[in-house]
Structure 1
């Protein structure tokens, strides 16, 4: 069931529907069920966004430095800057517990499509269908949780044509073991981001615990110590975020002309805001750094994606495929009228464009806590199947973990962020808007933000716990100003969300019809768009050509030092002092980074790369600039997934960081 004709090594495949025929015909490889199960059970998802893998029997987990940076930031302080300085625990007692990190291991997959479909009345309106779908999904998830004790998520696939129940084992006691300095992990900075060749040690090692002790794992990845060569077949097991390959041309034009320019303007604004905040000093720079990096990374990614959509050839390619599909649908008597979904989807894009930017969700940690507190109390008064999805019983543990996180919240940064959000609110709705007047309460955005931040008690975890234990009446009676603001905006939030969910439901039904038509025409093969759930991609370690130059697939430590020398005076190209101090101990020919043609997207960061034997050979950390069109169109002509080499990680642990004991325990 795919709406695009696959090319090259395209595909983010479900673990319960692997491309066995393609692998056999292209690469003469036949993965066994055991091979696939071992890889699936050795893979994990980070709730902070990203992927990882188990790499030892005693709970070690490998991921990217930039996936772990949220945790590194939360564990840092003015006196301990883990992001810049790195970290190594030399004993279990020194490992640092993450305040609110959750890792998910996919244990099982069950097709629940028929049950979801049975829960939707045939002639239900989009609003009714959305409520009914939410109810049946909540029931399925709750029943599974009660039966198995596992986190249970119903996942929408193929635009709503298929629903699978994913059951996860959760690990919530996660501790930091090793992280390199940012200068090594993000060597080359923003200039090299989404580029290649690269020379980064974008890796971090954590450990999962159970009952206060390192978890004893049956499934983990062994480690290949030979590196990769040109032409090697490799596999990526990770959680790609969101792709839009099922999207029609009208939907892509909405992204090109409305959504992406809007997001880019937002990111540029926030980038300037965070940069200005960081100018207040070293500590301000540290506090803003993690969020600023995420914003800059998003800005560069969206710039590349938009550039791809603005290339006329992209839309022309999609239009050609769409025209062929419409012709095939019209030629099939059993599909008569199905082509009308293209007009329906186009109409939805027009409505989306009209509503773009309408929001009362102010992006600050304190306001997020306040809004969640208000909505949680209101939703808890409803039957489980009628609640907003994030407040159902099946997700309660994760919700509580976030609400009661001990991670620091900085008042000075919150004032700046909330003031900017209030300013955007005024810009969007106009200064004379009645709701704007109520929100500002006669003050400027900056004054109002200071009043809200200085008056709230939500910095205190104990105060959040009291609200969590209380009902909606208790929240309503709160004198906390930021909770009162969330209460003021609750009705508007719910109205906007309801309208958005109705549009989503209409779009879901349209794409489900489209996918069913494609399934009839092309057969039940292919892969669904990414949903931040576990997928398998495959590809080759492969050279490519850019601007007439042949780009070799692998780099080494010697190249890193040469890259530093050729950029003298540019601080983003200064390797850490530890690297230069231990240069003579290194085998400079050791592989550091490499590229392959595997189909990845945001969310795959931290994914293990394995060989035919299922051994870890690399760690996904980026794609090159040509890969940024992969949200909506795959190509392997130049697009490449970029990895840290497994042998490079081991070499750095031993020769630079003096972590022989840690290196010895990997893969065992």
Structure 2
């Protein structure tokens, strides 16, 4: 793919000045086939070769919302505890509370399957830009997204077979498209998870701060045909101590960044979308926290959601603060103006780009007018309700599967429908009272934000109060996986005949939600995507491939050093925390409470063991669970967070302040061997 991209860039020629865009040494989440080896060699005196990158790619994986590394020949995967907390919650009961007390399988027979979890390992990358460009050539703005998505569906369907799953990824805001071929594992079992209190030690107080003392790691195992999967292309762990200044890399799946979006889009985020999301998260966090405070069982049920919501609130508040900073936004605007000036100096570029920035700005104004309808009826409808999610998939799936593959919504195409089927078949526990909280919040917000006389809102609410409707819907029979399967396999006839309250509810207004979605796709998504594609071409003209694409929850690699930082006020923050500091930080009051295992083990532990590590690597959400790799490609930790400055990394990277935070392999070894007595697991990792 690298050769294809370079050849395509050469055709574009050079626009204006030939200088590359300003980047800092460690900046960038690079694709495995376009890693800046020459730049890293010049700056660091060493860079990985393609063989190193290929090994790292084969040894890393993607799971829902997170990353992982394969660390044994028998399918053992290292990731974060917060990446598997939904599995831990689902496997827990009042009598076996793995959230509070942790989970450790001391034999393969004790490993427990995680409901609704799959792991994907990247097998290869190829360039499909020309094919998608041909399919969208001449498409009007309102039809661009449909033409693009239809061709993506065709490409993915041709590639997907058996355990191979294929995904077309838009890079550089549609300037390039890559086909990623994954091997998918649907039988994923929990092997080890520490107590939630130790994994999330410090809670919200320490979240996105440093020094940190979080034991945020867990192990999963991949299975095939009811046996541990054979994974010869695994990485190895190194348990020796890291050194300050050591060169490190991170391989994973960063979830998404907005560094190439226009100032009009980011102004919309700053002034409208982010404030709304932050306020919504604050309210639902209050409701979930109140439920969790009702008792230990409610606390167990709510743990995963509460951590997710609290983390999202902190992240989005940090992003809003970054965009609200006048100097930071001026930096974004200046980069955009620089590219616009380069375009104006080249007539060919002017003809190609046209009024792309104006088209995006006008689409944002259109979006604002339909924003609440789109969010409450489509994008975030029934958010965090398992019952609603299943019902919508069943109702829509029945209709979509009757269409030709290229005409379906992407979620229901042959290449992606396995995710839906797995979710419907999963044996996830449902608590009606917890469902009711999320449903009532969504319905009350819909009632508030949509006009009182909105006909769709009236159809959704049906004359009931938000509370009464949520209570009724929470009693849906969709909590039973057998009933879900019956509806899914029965198709349109079974859906039409169902009298389940949630199915009836979704069925009544899904046409309205589809209509809102269609307006969004044709009036916002399509015009913006088409304009971004033209801007991306202009950027290639100006800067070639000496740039990285925005993160898209697709496999990437970044590099940096083990390094602390100096705060703007002058306070120096070291690169390491050590085990002794954990006990000093513990107060006995939440969120600084040690589990009894750690209290009992204190005398056996080396207080000087490196616990958490700060590095200058460029990462974002989705990198959680990514392996921190040394120069030999060995796993020396699992990335779980960033510092507070990294929240602005959604929009820009500051090499002086942005830091990733990792639980070190030395802490993992100490925990498994000296605290939890997981000797067999440690031996499999080569730590005994």
TM-score norm. by structure 1 comes to: 0.96
8 Å Cα contact 1:241-1:602 kept in structure 2 = yes
1:649 aligns with 2:668: yes
Which sits farther off after the overlay, 467-476 or 107-116?
467-476
Any idea what the Cα deviations from partners look like across 1:490-515, whole Å, max 9, x if unmatched?
11111111122221121111111111
Map 1:28-427 onto structure 2 (within 5 A).
28-47=45-64, 49-122=65-138, 124-146=139-161, 149-337=163-351, 338=353, 340-358=355-373, 359-360=376-377, 361-363=381-383, 364-427=385-448
Provide the rounded CA distance (Å) in 2 between the counterparts of 1:560 and 1:211: 42
Provide the rounded CA distance (Å) in 1 between the counterparts of 2:668 and 2:118: 24
1:464 partner SS:
helix
1:614 aligns with 2:633: yes
1:31 Cα deviation from its structure 2 partner: 1.7
Provide the rounded CA distance (Å) in 1 between the counterparts of 2:563 and 2:460: 56
Over the aligned positions, Cα root-mean-square deviation in angstroms equals 1.6
1:460 Cα deviation from its structure 2 partner: 1.1
Provide the rounded CA distance (Å) in 2 between the counterparts of 1:444 and 1:30: 62
1:354 Cα deviation from its structure 2 partner: 2.2
Q: Which residue of 1 aligns with 2:485?
A: 465
1:393 partner SS:
coil
Q: 1:442 to 1:248 in 2, by over 3 A?
A: closer
2:426 partner SS:
coil
Any idea what the Cα deviations from partners look like across 1:506-545, whole Å, max 9, x if unmatched?
1111111111111111222211111101000001111211
Provide the rounded CA distance (Å) in 2 between the counterparts of 1:221 and 1:475: 47
1:523 aligns with 2:537: no
Which sits farther off after the overlay, 338-347 or 287-296?
338-347
1:477 aligns with 2:502: no
Q: 1:154 to 1:117 in 2, by over 3 A?
A: same
Provide the rounded CA distance (Å) in 1 between the counterparts of 2:300 and 2:551: 33
Provide the rounded CA distance (Å) in 1 between the counterparts of 2:322 and 2:268: 14
Q: Which residue of 1 aligns with 2:5?
A: none
8 Å Cα contact 1:221-1:667 kept in structure 2 = no
1:161 Cα deviation from its structure 2 partner: 1.3
Provide the rounded CA distance (Å) in 2 between the counterparts of 1:612 and 1:279: 46
1:85 Cα deviation from its structure 2 partner: 1.0
1:605 aligns with 2:613: no
8 Å Cα contact 2:25-2:40 kept in structure 1 = no
2:182 partner SS:
strand
Q: Which residue of 1 aligns with 2:14?
A: none
1:121 Cα deviation from its structure 2 partner: 4.3
Any idea what the Cα deviations from partners look like across 1:306-345, whole Å, max 9, x if unmatched?
1111111111111222222221211122212536222222
1:356 partner SS:
helix
Which sits farther off after the overlay, 420-429 or 530-539?
420-429
1:495 aligns with 2:515: yes
2:505 partner SS:
helix
Q: Which residue of 1 aligns with 2:678?
A: 659
Which sits farther off after the overlay, 640-649 or 432-441?
432-441
8 Å Cα contact 2:144-2:530 kept in structure 1 = no
8 Å Cα contact 2:75-2:228 kept in structure 1 = yes
1:188 Cα deviation from its structure 2 partner: 0.6
1:141 Cα deviation from its structure 2 partner: 0.6
Provide the rounded CA distance (Å) in 2 between the counterparts of 1:322 and 1:447: 50
Provide the rounded CA distance (Å) in 1 between the counterparts of 2:491 and 2:338: 56
1:149 Cα deviation from its structure 2 partner: 4.9
Provide the rounded CA distance (Å) in 2 between the counterparts of 1:31 and 1:276: 50
1:217 Cα deviation from its structure 2 partner: 1.1
Q: 1:3 to 1:470 in 2, by over 3 A?
A: farther
Provide the rounded CA distance (Å) in 2 between the counterparts of 1:132 and 1:514: 19
Equivalent of residue 580 in structure 2, options 547, 551, 558: 558
1:416 Cα deviation from its structure 2 partner: 2.1
1:135 Cα deviation from its structure 2 partner: 1.4
Provide the rounded CA distance (Å) in 2 between the counterparts of 1:518 and 1:478: 53
8 Å Cα contact 1:3-1:246 kept in structure 2 = no
Any idea what the Cα deviations from partners look like across 1:583-637, whole Å, max 9, x if unmatched?
0000110110111110000000000000111011111000000110011111111
1:667 Cα deviation from its structure 2 partner: 4.7
Q: Which residue of 1 aligns with 2:600?
A: 581
1:34 Cα deviation from its structure 2 partner: 1.9
Map 1:448-459 onto structure 2 (within 5 A).
448-454=469-475, 456-459=476-479
Could you tell me which runs of 5 or more consecutive residues in structure 1 were left unpaired when the two chains were aligned. none
Which sits farther off after the overlay, 71-80 or 532-541?
71-80
Q: 1:439 to 1:346 in 2, by over 3 A?
A: closer
Q: Which residue of 2 aligns with 1:533?
A: 554
Provide the rounded CA distance (Å) in 2 between the counterparts of 1:276 and 1:434: 33
Q: 1:377 to 1:3 in 2, by over 3 A?
A: farther
Moved over 4 A (4+): 1-4
Provide the rounded CA distance (Å) in 2 between the counterparts of 1:326 and 1:430: 40
8 Å Cα contact 1:102-1:173 kept in structure 2 = yes
Any idea what the Cα deviations from partners look like across 1:71-92, whole Å, max 9, x if unmatched?
1111111211112210111111
1:4 Cα deviation from its structure 2 partner: 5.0
Provide the rounded CA distance (Å) in 2 between the counterparts of 1:600 and 1:121: 34
Which sits farther off after the overlay, 35-44 or 490-499?
490-499
8 Å Cα contact 1:12-1:530 kept in structure 2 = yes
Provide the rounded CA distance (Å) in 2 between the counterparts of 1:599 and 1:421: 35
8 Å Cα contact 2:20-2:542 kept in structure 1 = no
Equivalent of residue 525 in structure 2, options 480, 487, 504: 504
Equivalent of residue 14 in structure 1, options 21, 31, 52: 31
Aligned length: 661
8 Å Cα contact 2:163-2:185 kept in structure 1 = no
